[in-house]
Every structure is written in C-alpha cells, then in structure tokens.
C-alpha cells in the first residue's frame, strides 16, 4: 500500500472540503498509509485548535489517528535541511525519508518547488488524486 505524508495545510484545507478533503477521504477509506512523526502530529494539533467552527471535525480526525490501522508512526533519524526558506517544512521530508514514503501531498510552495526529494514525489492534492486514479 502506498505510504503518504500529508502536509498540515492539506489537512486543514480538508476541513473545508475540495480536493484536500478527497485526499483525506482516500486515507479514511484505507487507500493509503498516512505517515506521521511526533513533530507532524504536534503541528496538526496546534493548528487544528485554531479553527473553532470545524473543531469537532478536527477532533474526529485526531481520534481516527489513534484508531486507524493505516497509520505509520516514525521517528526520523536524519535531520534534513533542504528547505532553507522555511525550515519547518523539513519535518515532512524527514518523515517521508524515515517512513519510506512515496509521496508528500502539500500545498506549500517551498515543498512543491522541490517536486521530488530523493525518491519521494511532492505533489499538490489535485496531482496526487490524478496519480492515484491512474493506478
């Protein structure tokens, strides 16, 4: 099964619908393994509490992390310094490398500009969905 890292901006955008929600629905339906690290989960938690009107949906997602079988938690052994313009983005690369992920799904231009890091494709939600449908 495909291993995927989801950037926080995709998770937050999924709370409002659109392509990001389609990505997260694929995960909820067991179509890929969501790769996470402690740093990513901490950011998910920090950002999700900012959205009052979607707080319940954010809580449901966080509960799914504990219950889902298609989640892979990793502890990155390597510190990566590829994204100098926004060092916070490196945690997604670190997680992807540690997990052996195939894809990072992001809306962040710093990551998308890389297009690929080592063997990991970096795709916006629409491109990820298109590649998923081709399989």
- The residues facing 118 across adjacent strands are none
pTM: 0.92
pLDDT, one tens digit per residue, over 80-101 is 999 999 999 999 999 999 999 9
Q: Are the C-beta atoms of 15 and 47 separated by less than 8 Å?
A: no
Q: Give the separation between CA 72 and CA 4, rounded to whole angstroms.
A: 9
- Residue 51: what pLDDT? 65
Residue 55 pLDDT > 70, yes or no?
Answer: no
Domains and CATH numbers, the chain: 3-134 (3.40.50.1010)
Strands (E), the chain: 3-6, 33-36, 71-73, 103-105, 116-117, 120-123
DSSP-based three-state secondary structure for 17: coil
Instruction: Give one DSSP letter per residue of 98-134, joined into a string.
Output: HHT-SEEE---HHHHTT-EETTEEEE-HHHHHHHHHH
User: CB–CB of 26/131 below 8 Å?
Assistant: no
pLDDT at 71 > cutoff 80? yes
């Amino acid at each position: 099964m495909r291993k995927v890292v989801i950037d926080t901006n995709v998770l937050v955008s999924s709370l409002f619908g659109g392509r990001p929600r389609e990505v997260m629905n694929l995960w909820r339906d067991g179509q890929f393994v969501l790769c996470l690290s402690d740093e990513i989960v901490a950011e998910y938690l920090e950002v999700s509490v900012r959205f009052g009107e979607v707080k319940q949906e954010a809580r449901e997602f966080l509960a799914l992390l504990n219950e889902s079988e298609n989640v892979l938690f990793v502890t990155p052994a390597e510190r990566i310094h590829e994204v100098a313009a926004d060092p916070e983005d490196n945690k997604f690369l670190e997680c992807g490398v540690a997990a052996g992920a195939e894809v990072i799904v992001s809306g962040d231009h710093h990551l998308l500009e890389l297009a690929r890091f080592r063997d990991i494709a970096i795709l916006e939600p629409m491109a990820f969905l298109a590649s998923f449908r081709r399989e």
